Each structure stands twice: as structure tokens, then as C-alpha cells.
Amino acid sequence: MKIRWIEEKCIKCMLCVKDCISAVWRDIDGIPKIVAPDDCNRCSHCLAVCPQGAIEHDGLDHMQIKKTDAALINPEVYETIARGRRSVRRYKDKNIPDELIEKVINLVNHTPTASNSQNVGYLVVSDKKILRKISNAIFVFSTKIFYFTKKFPGNLIYKIIKLFPVSDTITRYIEPMQYYIDETKKGRDFILHNAPVLILVHAPKGAIFSNENCNISAGNIMNYAYSLGLGTCYIGFLNLSLKYSKKLRNLIKLPKGRMIYACIIMGYPAYKHANTASRKKPAIKWVR
């Protein structure tokens, strides 16, 4: 790996030294010096922070290095996105162009990853038959649990579970299950909500911070998609199912050694949410 300092362009602001977490750049007698190039983790910060373009790095794509426009950063716009984005569960019967999906992924590919591992990958599922198989597999399993609670010994076990505080998470899905079953017979999909696209965010199985890397990316997917007029919804049940079901993992052709850490459906919303939603006050504790 070659990193070059262009002396004639450098104004010796030392920002490359200050911003280099890998200690590749050091302040040697007031001059920024490249001391340990092999320790570089390719975070691009030296190129991003240098105001003079005085650094060349053959391990990075210089075509991606562009000037930022601070004038475009608008906190009110971001607040509208953060407050206005909703989980969408009703979609138009309309496909999303591949180019638009790629636009979303290319942007969220800039999401930070721990130690700049850049180990996040994306599986895009748009085959309606596969989407239907995924939904059916999870819903059928859910109905089996529901019917189990309707006769002995399942009903007794369910009554015991309801005595514990944790039961709220279970009963909120079990109690209205008959309604879900009836609506499903009419064509409604309560798992993937008939969305035209499913994005599965994956990373190396068991690697440190894989979960965090994927879910930071997932948040950016949902917010950026919203800014493009698309709707999304995070599907936790699918995430859980993929963890335990080899059959589902084979269905989506998950690469060997990888694990899904976030599942997001995407499509054009059938209707808009005109207002923001209500939220509980944040639980803030100051430690000073």
C-alpha cells in the first residue's frame, strides 16, 4: 500500500495527523510524516480532512473523494425525516427500479463500520415467489403456535405464561391471531406485507460488531429510502427466523459464513402519513 504526501500542496495544518486513529501519520518536527503505512485501515479520513488535496493513497478510490457542501446540511430537513418516517405495511402493486435500489445501497455503503471493516453486504430479494414462500413459512409456524394454545396442554402452558410480565410481548400477537388468519385468507400478508422488495443486511457470522454494523446501515436505508419517496419496515420476525431456519437461509441463498442481522422490506407506500407520531419522553439520565 502506497500513501504519498505532496509537500508542495501541504500547509502543515496537521489535520491528517490529528484525525488518523491508526497512527499512520505522525507529527515529526512540525512535518506530517507517513510512519506506518501498513497499519492503515483505509478509513479515508486523511483524504477527507485535508483541505489542500495533499495526499495520495493507492488503496482508496479517489473518484469517491468529493468536496462536501455544508450549505446542503439542513437540520430541519433531517428532523422531518427522523420524525416523519413511519413503518409502512401497505404498498402499491408497483416494482421499484433496480437503479433506485442500487442508489439506496450505494449511499448507505458509506455507513460507518467498526474499525472500518466495511464487512456489510446486502441481499436484495424481489422474486415474488420467494417473498411469498418466506411469508408463508413464518405465518404457518405462527398459526401452529396459535392452535397449540387452543387445546390441552397448550392452553394450560399459555395460561401460565400469561402470569408473567414478559407475556405482554407474546399475547399481543397470539390474542388477535384469528383475525390475522382470516385476513390472510383474503390475500393480506402480515409478514412481508406484500412489499415488492426485501433487503437483507448481512455480515460475517460471529464477527465482533457485525450486528451493530448492519443495523446502523439498516437505519440509513430506512431514512434515505423515505427521502426518496419509498416506504420501509424492519421485519424482526424474519430476522429471528433466519437465525434458526436453515431452510430459509438456503431459500435466500445466503453466502457461506454470513449471517443476516437486519431485514427490511421496501416499496411505494399505498398512502402517506400526514403527521408525525407520538412517542414517550426519552429516558435520559445525566452523569456529570
* Domain 78-126+196-267 indexed as CATH 1.10.10.60: no
pLDDT value of position 165? 84
Digit-by-digit pLDDT tens for the chain (288 residues) are 799 999 999 999 999 999 999 999 999 999 999 999 999 999 999 999 999 999 999 999 988 888 899 999 999 999 999 999 999 999 999 999 999 999 999 999 999 999 999 999 999 999 999 999 999 999 999 999 999 999 999 999 999 999 988 788 889 999 999 999 999 999 999 999 999 999 999 999 999 999 999 999 999 999 999 999 999 999 999 999 999 999 999 999 999 999 999 999 999 999 999 999 999 999 999 999
pLDDT value of position 58? 93
- Residue 17 Cα to chain centre, angstroms: 32
Contacts of 203 (CB under 8 A, 6+ apart): 119, 120, 121, 210, 211, 213, 214, 258, 259, 261
Task: Pick 3-64's CATH classification: 3.40.640.10, 3.30.420.40, 3.30.70.20, 3.40.50.150.
Answer: 3.30.70.20
Strand partners, 56: 4
Question: Domain ranges in the chain?
Answer: 3-64, 78-126+196-267, 141-183
pLDDT value of position 167? 81
pLDDT value of position 73? 94
- Comparing CA positions, the residue from 149, 141, 139 lying closest to residue 171 is 149
Query: What's the rounded Cα separation, in Å, for the pair 199 and 262?
Result: 8
pLDDT value of position 170? 86
